[in-house]
Structure formats: C-alpha cells, structure tokens
Amino acid sequence: MKILSINTGSSSLKFSLFNMDTDEVLVSGLFERIGIDGSCYTIKNSEFKIKEDAELKDHADAIKILLDKLIELKIISSYDEIDGVGHRIVQGADHYDKSVIITDEVLEDIIKLSDLAPLHNPAHAIGIKAFKSILPNTPMVAVFDTAFHQTMSKDKFLYAVPYEWYEKHGVRRYGAHGTSHNYISQTISKELGRDDLKVISCHLGQGASVTAIDSGKCVNTSMGFTPLAGLVMGTRSGDIDVSLVPYVMEKEGLSAGEVVTALNKKSGFLGISGVSSDSRDIEAGIKEGNERCKIAEEMFVNSVVKYIAEYYVELGGCDVIVFTAGIGENSAATREAIAEKLAVLGVKIDKKANDVRGELKCISAKDSKIKLYLVPTNEELMIAKDTLALIK
C-alpha cells in the first residue's frame, strides 16, 4: 500500500510517499513560495533530484503538479494507487487524543482551533480541502501534534491562573512535537526490548521540546499553550516572565502582538547571538571567539538540562535520555555539553560513540547510570503508519 504524508504550511507543502509494505520512502519533496513570486518545487529519491520553478497560485496547483509528477516519473501509474493521505495537524487541543479519519466535522474542528495555532491550522485546512478536491475518494487522516500529550494529568497541563480561563477558553498546556516524541518512544522501546521504559525525549531543532514519557505515555512536556514556551530555540525565547511583555511595550512603543512576534521570531539563538538562528552558525561563531554565540549556546544547553532534571524527578528516575531532530541528531558538541551538566545524575557520555550524526546509536559510557541514545526522528513515517492503521 502507498501512503502520502503531508505537512502543509501557509506557503509550502512538504510530502513523502511511502510503500507501507517495507516502510520505504518512494519519493519526497517540497513545494515552496505557494501564492508568492518565485515559487518552485523539489522532488527526490535515492535515484534522482528534480528542482524546478513553477507557477503555484495556490495549494491545489502544487498538489496537481505533485500527483502528475508521480505518474510522469512512474512512481505510480494512476491516482488510484494512493491508498491514503495523512495530514500533520499542529493543534488538536483536547478534542483529539489520537489520529482520526478526516470528516467534514473534523475539518471544521481544525479550522475552529486556528486561534490556538494561527500560523498552522488554517494552512492545514487549505491542504486538506485541496487534496479532497483532487482525490475525493481517497481516505484522509489527521495526525495531531498535540494528541500524544493528552495523557498528561491536570496538575501537569493546567496553569495556576483563574480556572474559568481553562473552562471557557481552553487555557492550558498542549505541547507540540507529539508525533516525533511518540515515534521516539516507540523506537527506543523496540530497540531496548521494553515497554515499561522511563524516557526523556529531547527533540532539539529550530523548534525544541523535552517530553517525559513513562511506559509509552506522556507525563509532561516543555512546550505550553503555544510552542513559544519551554526551551530556548532558534528564534523563540522559551520561558519568560510574562510581565516582560507590558514592560517592553511601554519602553519600545510596541503593541502586545509586536512583542509576542519578537519573542517568537527575533529571540532565542538569533536574539542572543545577533548572528543567526541556526545552531551551526552559533557553533561556528563560538570557534571564532564570538562571546554572544557562546552565551546563546550555554543558555540553550541550560534550558535543556533544566527540563531533563525536572522530568527525572517527576518520573522517579530515568532509563534513557534520547536526542533527536536537527541539533539533537547532528551536534555532538551540544549533546556532550548537556551530558556533562547531568553528571550529578550519574550520566556519562562516550565521546567516541558520540562522534556520530543521524543514526540510531547508544552514545553513553558503559558505566553511565542513564543510557543516552541518538534516535533520528521520522514524523512522516509515523503519520503514514497512523494513516494505514485507520484506513485498514
């Protein structure tokens, strides 16, 4: 069976087509600048890579080109070979604790929840509608980033604010990256042959979050009402004192929205270093003696360590700490810095084993009290697997 995994952005569409008999990626790619001048797309697999300019007025244009290219490239012989389409949905709130077949009601809910993810849910809805117009008889599945975190208890997901804010407006911790953390949980359980593991999953990339997992279920997670909370990130501030917002509004003559935009898009690595939001540029700056890059990296490491330590206590111990996503999979220096600060917990990294990028591997020393693993995440495969399970 062939399943398409789709991640629709406001001006982009990322996809992977899987052969679910083998979990093989048949082809993947990205459509960029949809509805904007200079639109283009990339389609690739192990045998070829195509990058072309194309007029993409809307997402329907992108999807039509995608499907026609799959036929032209002989990946499929007709649209009928696509057995299902799985859509990544950022925000499902507490309406959805698992993936679901997309009905008109589900689509309406995704649109209603746009207030909680204004940059994401409206784009997801556009992608769903566009696919439905071209593949009206193909089953489609919504895979929610927030679903995995719905096992958190109230004392973990509530904020200490007036309770009616939660009852009336849904003010609570929702988390994000749930599809990735779920994949990590399942993969490390399979790798170690146990389903009762206490896992601290560190999804470290431009967006970053740490999740405490006990026996496959989320206990707590660092992101909050929105993805702004938690760790220092590429352009996000992470946790701050909210009184900072009116203070900066007054001092800088900004609106609340402008301050929140700065906290989301001009902070984190970028805000502290003044150089870049990319951790690779931060590491290069450190080598060149840039003090602000050094501070940015230290702040990021400190924020990760803080949450790992908190979740170690909440879980009552920990069997394995997993690093994943762009920084987690590729930055040996960051993994080592985090491990060194966790030495008080008996954590020891094997520097030779840690000299690795993007492959599943144990990177802890033999006498480490907590195992350290690098596990490449695969959210697209997780989406495809959920889609296959539901359409079957």
Q: Which of 109, 145, 214, 386 is catalytic?
A: 145
For residues 351 and 364, give the distance between their C-alpha atoms in angstroms, rounded to a whole number: 8
Name residue, tokens 């762009």. 326
For residues 206 and 358, give the distance between their C-alpha atoms in angstroms, rounded to a whole number: 16
Which amino acid, one-letter code, is at 9?
G
For residues 89 and 111, give the distance between their C-alpha atoms in angstroms, rounded to a whole number: 11
Nearest residue to 317 via CA among 341, 345, 350, 342: 345
The DSSP result for 227-283, as a single string, is TTSSS--SS---S--TTHHHHHHHHHT--HHHHHHHHHHS-HHHHHHSS-S-HHHHH
For residues 322 and 324, give the distance between their C-alpha atoms in angstroms, rounded to a whole number: 7
Contacts of 344 (CB under 8 A, 6+ apart): none
For residues 353 and 232, the answer to whether their CB atoms sit within 8 Å is no
For residues 175 and 221, the answer to whether their CB atoms sit within 8 Å is yes
Give the length of the chain.
392
Which uninterrupted H or E stretch holds 42? strand 40-44
Is 145 marked active-site? yes
| Active site amino acids | 145
